[in-house]
Each structure stands twice: as C-alpha cells, then as structure tokens.
A and B are shown apart, each in its own frame.
Chain A
Amino acid sequence: MKKEIGLVFIFLALIALVLGLFWGCAGAFQFVFPGFFDAVPFYKTRPLHVSFVISWIVLSAIGGIYYYLNTHFRIPLFSRRMAVVHAWIFGISAALICACYLYGKFGGREYWEFPAVLAIPVFISWFLFGFNYFKTIAKKTGTWPVYLWMWGTGICFFLFTFSESYLWLFPYFRNNIVRDLTVQWKAAGALVGSWNMLVYGTALFVMEKIKGDKQMARSKLAFLMFFLGLANLMFGWAHHLYIVPTAPWIRYLSYAISMSELLIFAKLIWNWRKGLGSIRRGFYFLPYRFLIASDVWIFLNLTLALFISIPAVNVFTHGTHITVAHAMGSAIGINTMILLSSALLIIGEATGYSFSERQKKTINAGFWITNISLFFFCLFLILAGIEKGRLVIENKLSFQDIMLHINPWLISFAFAGLGLFTGLLLVTFHPLLAVAHYLRKKPATVILENSIANS
C-alpha cells in the first residue's frame, strides 16, 4: 500500500497558506508604511500573496477530494500516477510563477498576473485532475450525493472560466476596453464560484462524516441549493461591473440572480438555529469547531454580499475596502475554516496521529486568535471603505488626503492581519509537522501505525 496522495496536496496547501499569510502581512504593512521592506515592493508582494492563498484553497480542496475518494468511497483512484504528475506540475509551475513575480515579470491580470504561457501547465494540471476524477467516480454505483456533483461541476467550471480568462489573448476581446473588462470579470467571478463549489462540497462531505447522516447530501433540498448556487456562479458575477458601461441587461440579470441568494440566506438562518447547542466532542471535535466557525462567517458575509449587490449601495462601496472585506471574509472565514476542518479530519485519520492535550490547546488558542482577528480585520476594512466611499462621492478631498484620512483604520487593519497570521500559524504548526512526519516515513511503518491507531 502506498501513501495517500491526498496528503501530499494537503502538505503543499498548508505551506502555501503560511507563505500566503506572510506575503499578505508584508503587503499590508507596505500599504500603510511606505518604504517598508523595499527589497520586494508592493506590486510584487500583492500577486505573491494572492497566488499563494488561492493555491492554499485549491490544493487543500483537491487533496481532500483525492483522499475522500480513495478512503471513504473505497473507489481506488483511476490513476494514482496521474495524481502524482498533477502534484509535480502544480509544484513546478508554482515555483516558476513565484520566480516571475520576484523578478517583476508580469503580463497577465488580476489573479493570474504571470506571463500567459504559464497558464498552459496550470490548465494541464487541472485537466489531469478532472480526467482522473470523472474516471474514478464513473465506477461508483447508486445515487451520487450532491458533493460529487459539486466537485465535478467545480472542476469543469474551473477549466471553462480559466480558459475564458485568457480570451484577452484574442484581439477581438483585448482591443475593446469594455468588452474585455466585462469578460475578464465574468471569468473572475465564475472562477471564484468554481473553487467555492469544491470547498462547499467538501463542507457537506465533512458534515456528513461528523453527523453520520447520509441522507443530508442526497436530499431534494441539498440539490435545490446546489442548483441555486450554480445559477449564482453562472450569472451572478456582474456585481463587479455595475459601474462599467456594459449593456444594461447584463447588470439587471446579475442583480436579480444575486438577490436569489436571499433564499440561501433564509435557509441558513433556519439551519443554524436548529443546529445550535449540539456540539460533539471526541474525535471530530476540532473539525467540528472549524465548521461551526465557517457557519457564522457565512452568515456575516452573505449579509454584506447582499447589501453590496444592490446597485444603489454598490455605487458607494465599489472600489473601496468594503470589497476587500467581503473577499477576505469569504476566503478566510468561510473557505479557510472549512478547509482547515477537512484538513484536520484527514490528518487525524490518515496519519493516525492524535494531538496531545497541549497541542490541542495551541490549536484552540490559534482558532480563537484567528477568528477574533478576522472580525476586527474585516471591521477595519469596512470602516475604511465607508469613509473612502463617502469622501470619494463627496469629491472635496484629493486622493492623497482621502488616503491620509483612512490611514488609521488601515494601520489597525494591518495589525489585525498580524493577529490572523499568528492565529493561523498556531493552528497549522502541529498539523503541518504531523503530515511532514507521515510523508517522510516509509509506507510500511505508516500502515503499521494506522492499524494500531484504528484498532
């Protein structure tokens, strides 16, 4: 028996998370203290930060999927070797992309600032993942739970929107400013939606595992929510574009679709109330913790998202730090909490490693520091955003004066970011060591320890 390939991805993901946080803190301090850490200037740290945290999200989701397919559905991967190649291509292209950023070789755009040729290996790695995924689950008989649909959809939409985000290579798109901007943000919005499919699918899987309730992910309601989410991924992206002079129907359609999320919202509140007070301890305690935290963040974030999807509100908040608060709230509060929950579950299970009480305390402390810091992090961004939005529309101060005005909020934000970094380091430190230990050992010892742990 070989080691679980999923763990390799989880390991890379945790490293990416730590690096992403590091560059994020560097960027935040550069933003508020000009001249800070000039060796790598802000226009390099920003894409480094973004690329690493995106890598964290997709790698940990992918690692989970490989692992769950193999162990929980007991369907062996169609090709383990293909998954290994996937990991190598990802690793090598990540290294090349980092080098490009550090040397100031750009050429792409938001999210993919690297030169366009590097999109080819990224695309190939996802294609291999998708091929392997569908070949593997084709062997599964019986009703597919909704998360299998979600993962498959997420992979296909990633491939579609990733390609779409490169349509600018054609002059027809590139040379028309508004069309290009529209297609760019259509792709970017749906791209985030596609990895959210991977992440939310993971959340449902982990919930099923913790509750031991197999019906939940096969119910009619689960599928209705999936279709609603899919419609949002497909058509809800234009809230980025309310102020761009696109054809008006694009904006109206998106507004209507975004508001349908109200249904999801209502359902969430309902479930949340029902779920209160049923905290389970034991083996699933840590994963459960992180999942509950993500619930709270979904609630807070959707409230904000609904507000800023109203065009009359959006006109004030667009282009301000409120957008950043929304992005960070969902990337950290929702996605990261879910993915940490999944990673902790997998690490506990696969490595047979059980955290000592002291280690659990460290993780627990990290959990609280992270969540409290994140709350203030988003709060300061929102306050800065409100102030900026107001001052910009009022149009009395110059840009520099507006920035001076909101600088105290942004300085507080940078320190809250440091808190986040600390919290997440505390959370990931021991799990990271546990995976590293597992990956270093010879397979036989792993099997032996696993069987001891499971007996």
Chain B
Amino acid sequence: MPLHIKRFIFWGLVMLFLLDSAAVYLSDSQGKVSSTLLTQSARDGKLLFQEHNCTACHQLYGLGGYMGPDLTNVISQPGKGESYAGSFIKYGTARMPDFHLTDTEVDALLAYLKSVDKTGNSPIRDFDIQYDGTIRTASKE
C-alpha cells in the first residue's frame, strides 16, 4: 500500500474521530428529562461519590463494581427510597463500610442519587427486541 494512501486513510479516520468526539461532547441525554445537576448539594454529592470510591462496589447504569446493588433507581424503586438509602449510606452494613459521613454529606449523596434516578432506568426490564438485534425501551418521562 503506497504511503499516501496510508496517510489518507489514517488522517481521514482521525478527522472523523474528532468530529465524533465533538458531537459526543455536545450531545445531551435522550428524552425529555435534562440530566443536569441543578442543586449545589447534588453536585457535592457527585464528588463525594468519587472521593469514597462508591463505584468500587456499586454501579450506575450497570457501570462500576459488583459487590453492591446498582444504585441508579434506588430512590424510586418500590420498597426503597430516600430514607432507606440514607440509612445504608449513614451506617454501612456488614459488607458496606461505614464512611462516618456527616448529615450534610449524606444529604448531598442522596441529592445526587435523586438526580441520577430521574435520568432513566437501570437495569432495563421493559424492552422489545427488534429484528436487527437492537432493543426499544420506554424512556423516562
């Protein structure tokens, strides 16, 4: 393969990649719900989630560790909710460490989880399989 063709394909791919990256950076979530964290508390909560490495054991949208449950919808799942989640975060369990968080920190984490909950569903249980191997789901209103 001559060098100029190699260069053409290579740089062509790089250009496409840059365009694709820009499009991804500008894209927002599907559906009507904006996924922007509006309150300061939720924003703090997100950073606390990182600082305590909650992802080592928990997933959001199926991404993260495997020891604990997926937390995407812990706020809205039947039988769970804010005070349920709050008591886990505050005291830990035999398997989940107690991080000795202050009440403000617990509230921040809950505010964050509340915002996450509004963006969608995980795991997805309601779906139709399409002929091309893709699935169709109802997005959260």
Contact = CB atoms under 8 A, between A and B. Distances in A.
Interface in B73-130: 94-95, 97, 115-116, 119-120, 122-125, 127, 129-130
Contact of B119 (A106, A178, A220, A247): A178
B56 A43 contact: yes
Interface stretch (A84-92, A107-115, A440-448): A107-115
Interface residues of B, number: 61
A41 B95 CA distance: 10
Interface string A97-135: 000000010111110010000000000000000000000
Nearest to B9: A227
Interface in A241-292: 241-248, 250-253, 255
A335 to B, nearest CB: 22
B36 A175 contact: yes
Contacts, number: 164
A130 B133 CA distance: 41
A414 to B, nearest CB: 13
Contacts of B30: 245-248
* 5 closest cross-chain pairs (CB), A and B: A319-B62, A178-B29, A43-B56, A245-B120, A399-B69
Contacts of A313: 133
A231 B9 CA distance: 10
A212 interface: no
Contacts of B65: 46
Contact of A245 (B36, B66, B70, B140): B140
Interface residues of A, number: 66
Nearest to A115: B51
Interface in A34-68: 34-35, 41-44, 46-47
A311 B137 CA distance: 12
B125 A393 contact: yes
Contacts of A344: none
Contacts of A324: 66
A311 B57 contact: no
Nearest to B112: A177
Contacts of A44: 53
Contacts of B28: 176, 178-179, 247
B35 A177 contact: yes
B69 A176 contact: no
Given A35-B94, A110-B55, 18 more contacts: A41-B97, A47-B53, A110-B63, A182-B24, A235-B16, A240-B63, A242-B135, A245-B139, A245-B140, A250-B27, A252-B134, A310-B133, A312-B134, A313-B133, A315-B127, A315-B135, A393-B123, A395-B125
